[in-house]
Amino acid sequence: MKENQDKRIFGKRIGMTVFGIILCGISVGFFKLAAFGVDPFQSLMSGLDSAVPVRFGTLYVIANLCLLMFSLFADRHYIGLGTIINLSLLGYIVEFSHGFLKQTFPAPSAGFRIVSFLIGVGVMCFSSAFYFTADMGVSTYDAVALILVNKWHVGKFKFVRIITDLVCVAAGCGLYLMSGGELSKLPAIAGIGTIITAFFMGPLIDFFNHKAAEPFLYGKKGK
């Protein structure tokens, strides 16, 4: 009986991991279409993309390999199937998602951009909660905040996440401007949307962890 239950839980964890990563890639496409500023880590990636002449998907793999080294050194617990899938595929899912949305909606109105942004925030936080709870390895960037909180006991996750997000935003803006990027286009990389996500993604992920992901995996009675 317990063995069957363990298999069922393991199957759910795999499904939650794949589901979360795919949805996360799609959510970034909505962020880019909205052009109010992408999420903090993608802000950093956009800065790198403007400074390094490499395809975005490939650059995403390289950047995440660097963060993977930190995770392997600090706490390997967070490295798993989800980490490898995220590292290998998420950048290319973002490319496809953004390209498809841009082709489908070539000239979105201001109202549609606002809706796209709200969809992006909600979907990203929801998907992140699912692959966090699945515990099969999170993204290398997400692992940084989790290691700081759970391994080094720096503080609460939602506050540590705000700090790491703000660091990414600052680095992304700096790289973009130093590479000759136009100041008028900066809001599409780090705008009001980025500021909002930097302060609210941590609390929202924490909310979806408790209200959706954990009940789905363990049932309403919890672990």
What mean pLDDT do residues 40-52 have? Answer: 91
Span 170-198, pLDDT tens digits: 999 999 999 998 888 888 888 888 888 77
pLDDT at 138: 76
CB count, 10 Å around CB of 80?
Answer: 17
pLDDT at 149: 92
In 3D space, the residue among 128, 118, 139, 117 whose CA is nearest the CA of residue 208 turns out to be 128
Span 1-27, pLDDT tens digits: 555 566 778 888 889 988 998 999 999
pLDDT at 220: 66
What mean pLDDT do residues 130-139 have? Answer: 83
- The answer to which of 58-67, 80-89, 96-105 has the lowest mean pLDDT is 80-89
What mean pLDDT do residues 155-165 have? Answer: 88
Calpha distance 152→22 (Å, rounded): 30
For the chain, what percent of residues have pLDDT higher than 90? 41
- What are the C-alpha distances in Å from 198 to residues 26, 43, 60, 77, 191? 19, 11, 20, 25, 11
